[in-house]
């Protein structure tokens, strides 16, 4: 993973729903411009901070990402969201092999957070949804100064011909040596992460790992629902997931 510093171009932007937010452009070592938003609680800081990565087809303004930012900020935790380089490309691209470029993207965002005086560098967390959870895991493994991770709708299993197989060790390797705080949040109907296999895998960690199972599938919705009913379920599950993540990080950010 490359470690060259990224160029950060701040652009002031305010979101009424958050205490204070800034829109930013971050240039990666390979020259790709990433869009990012950093949301700060009120006050001078420094604040515990989480860098939160979206899923493969997601962007940082989708409901779960915005709800998570609100919940984190409400608990005194700064939040940095961003869009993948391939997602913002014209035409839109795809994730790279082994997620190497996405790891570079997220590393650039993490470095930008470290250089902000309002960020408590001893209380930096990483997190992500789906594909973003795998990239967050890469950063956690590579950077021992990261305090912990929250992994939303992880990709921990696959199903073929009715047989469910674990992919947790492939996507989140090295958990047997990991002692830092970890939270996995999965949907009870998620076809990409069987809760029983996730619990079993979490039990192999060197440290304490929390697993929360909430309603919904991989997109936090309920299969078969559509329209307003589907949106209501997704919003409810997004609030629950965001609360769980924010509570977890807040509890592990105390002195």
Of 229, 244, 228, 233, the C-alpha closest to 189 is: 233
Tell me which residue has tokens 């999965």: 186
CATH for 7-251?
3.40.50.1820
pTM to 2 decimals? 0.90
What pLDDT score does 31 carry? 96
pLDDT recorded at residue 62: 86
List the chain domain ranges. Answer: 7-251
Instruction: Show contacts of 115-120: CB within 8 Å, 24+ apart.
Output: 115/8, 116/38, 117/45, 117/46, 118/40, 118/44, 118/45, 118/46, 118/47, 118/78, 119/45, 119/46, 119/47, 119/49, 119/78, 120/45, 120/46, 120/47, 120/48, 120/49, 120/253
- Listed residue (144, 224, 153) closest to 187, CA to CA: 153
pLDDT averaged per 10 residues, the chain (length 255): 37 43 93 96 94 91 91 97 93 94 98 96 97 98 97 96 95 97 97 97 95 95 90 94 98 88
Q: Do residues 35 and 88 touch, judged by C-beta distance below 8 A?
A: yes
- The confidence score (pLDDT) of residue 3 equals 35
């Amino acid at each position: 993973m490359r470690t060259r510093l990224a160029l950060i171009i701040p652009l002031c932007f305010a979101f009424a729903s958050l205490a204070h937010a800034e829109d930013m452009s971050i240039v990666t070592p390979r020259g790709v411009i990433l869009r990012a938003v950093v949301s700060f609680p009120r006050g001078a800081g420094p604040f515990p901070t989480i860098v939160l990565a979206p899923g493969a087809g997601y962007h940082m303004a989708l409901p779960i990402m915005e709800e998570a930012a609100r919940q984190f900020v409400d608990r005194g935790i700064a939040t940095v969201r961003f869009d993948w380089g391939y997602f913002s490309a014209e035409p839109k691209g795809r994730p790279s092999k082994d997620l190497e470029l996405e790891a570079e993207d997220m590393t650039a965002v993490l470095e930008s957070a470290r250089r902000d005086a309002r960020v408590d560098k001893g209380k930096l967390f990483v997190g992500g949804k789906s594909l973003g959870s795998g990239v967050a895991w890469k950063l956690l493994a590579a950077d021992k100064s990261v305090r912990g991770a929250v992994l939303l709708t992880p990709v921990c299993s696959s199903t073929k011909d009715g047989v469910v197989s674990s992919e947790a060790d492939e996507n989140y390797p090295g958990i047997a040596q990991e002692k830092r705080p970890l939270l996995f949040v999965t949907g009870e109907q998620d076809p990409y992460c069987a809760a029983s296999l996730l619990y079993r895998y979490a039990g192999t960690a060197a440290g304490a790992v929390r697993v929360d199972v909430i309603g919904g599938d991989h997109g936090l919705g309920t299969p078969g629902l559509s329209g307003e009913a589907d949106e209501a379920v997704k919003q409810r599950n997004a609030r629950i997931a965001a609360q769980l993540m924010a509570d977890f990080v807040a509890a592990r950010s105390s002195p």
